Homo-oligomer: A and B are copies of this chain.
Amino acid sequence: MSIHVCSPLYAHAVSLDQISTPSRVAGVDEGVSTAELGLAARNHGMPLEAMRYDLTPPGLHYLLIHYDIPFVDPATWSLRLDGLVDRPLTIDLDTLKALPARTVRSTMECAGNGRARLEPRPVSQPWLVEAVGTAEWTGVPLRDVLTAAGVSAGAVDVVFTGADHGVERGVEQDYQRKLTVAEALDPDVLLAYAMNGAPLAPQHGFPVRLLVPGWYGMTNVKWLTRVEVLDHEFNGFQQKAYVVRQSTDEPGEPITRIAPRALVIPPGFPDFMTRGRVVRPGLVTLEGRAWSGRAPVTGVEVSVDGGSTWSSAALAPDGGHRWAWRRWSHEWLATPGAHVVTARAVTADGETQPVEAPWNRGGFVNNAAHQIPVTCLEA
């Protein structure tokens, strides 16, 4: 009958260690906590029906913001490029926008997509399957700016710092990720200032973010303030956090490129509460999107019996957009009863999606095939 203080866990905290606790895995049958729900209320997924759009409108594109959305004044913003370079640079927004630009269509996905479907559930942003979106990003190739500054011999890593500040597992930090020099010199890597032809929305990194096509979202640092070239390997907090491992005493496997995935636009219409889907008998066009940051998607397979039998879907051409999702479709003659629709992507390397994903401590890279129960009513 009452409300209570937001998160009683830390209502009496007086130190960072009390407010910022170690990572943990939920207990058996432990429901989603208020803290996880608080993350879900902020960091939203893409409603799956938005796969009808080639380019996701900014307000429907998934979002994962570790701390707060910082306020950055574009009039005073500048990007510092320094470290192991011949000519350190400070670039303001007008200067950046005056440089030759490129536009890259890119599907971005959170490395934690699917986390809340793992058992036991790693406690963090509780994604089901919607942490994805596709946009056209416009900006200056990072390579051009690095070349202008002159990367010195002996350079190893390039570190990107954002303006978002917070604490995580007891460590106070500005958000930072790295690329190797070779990765940073890829011509598709952008200092992006526009999304779908408009200035970045605040939640997508205004005024400038890093765009690394084909990589999971955590590498695409938002609200960029600094690019630093190092003569050694960078091993900051987020490098150590985004790894696949079974326990926290392993260093783990670093997470880089997006694993293949196909998603299905839920057919028919939903129940409000369960999101269960309802169709009526007859021909139902199943469609969706498929993508991979590894080898390109070359096929999509669809099953309407929960994965017992599979058919090849029609896959639309990539239109020259190597890093964007591709549309697929499949005609299904629905008959009254309970069905489970599922789809899986296949790549040029022969990689496909598992029906059950291997568990890991951080809940990353769960690309288990998307399953949608569908009820077909009597005619």
Q: Which residues of A contact B (CB under 8 A)?
A: 1-7, 9-16, 18-21, 23, 30-45, 47, 49-50, 52-53, 57-61, 63, 65-69, 71, 114, 116-119, 123-124, 126-128, 130, 165-169, 172, 201-204, 266, 269-276, 278, 306, 336-338, 340, 355-359, 366, 368, 371-373, 375-377
Contact = CB atoms under 8 A, between A and B. Distances in A.
Instruction: Give 5 nearest A-B pairs by CB, closest first.
Output: A31-B31, A59-B59, A44-B44, A32-B32, A19-B276
Contacts of A306: 5
Given A60-B203, A201-B59, A373-B13, A7 B275 contact: yes
B166 A269 contact: yes
B270 A15 contact: no
Contacts of A23: 273
B20 A274 contact: yes
B5 A42 contact: no
Contacts of A2: 119, 356-357, 359
Contacts of A118: 3
Nearest to A358: B1
A275 to B, nearest CB: 5
B16 A278 contact: yes
Given A40-B41, A166-B269, 7 more contacts: A10-B276, A10-B375, A14-B337, A40-B40, A47-B69, A49-B68, A66-B272
A245 B335 CA distance: 41
Contacts of A61: 59
16 contacts: A10-B375, A14-B336, A14-B337, A14-B376, A15-B375, A19-B276, A20-B274, A21-B274, A31-B32, A32-B37, A34-B116, A37-B37, A37-B128, A59-B59, A166-B272, A169-B273
A50 B20 CA distance: 23
A33 to B, nearest CB: 7
A81 B95 CA distance: 53
Nearest to A114: B3
B10 A128 contact: no
Contacts of A30: 31
Contacts of A13: 276, 338, 373, 375
A71 B7 CA distance: 39
B274 A9 contact: yes
Nearest to A47: B42
A340 B3 CA distance: 14
Given A35-B275, A275-B38, A1 B119 contact: yes
B41 A7 contact: no
Contacts of A35: 273-275
Nearest to A371: B5
B59 A123 contact: no
A60 B42 CA distance: 9
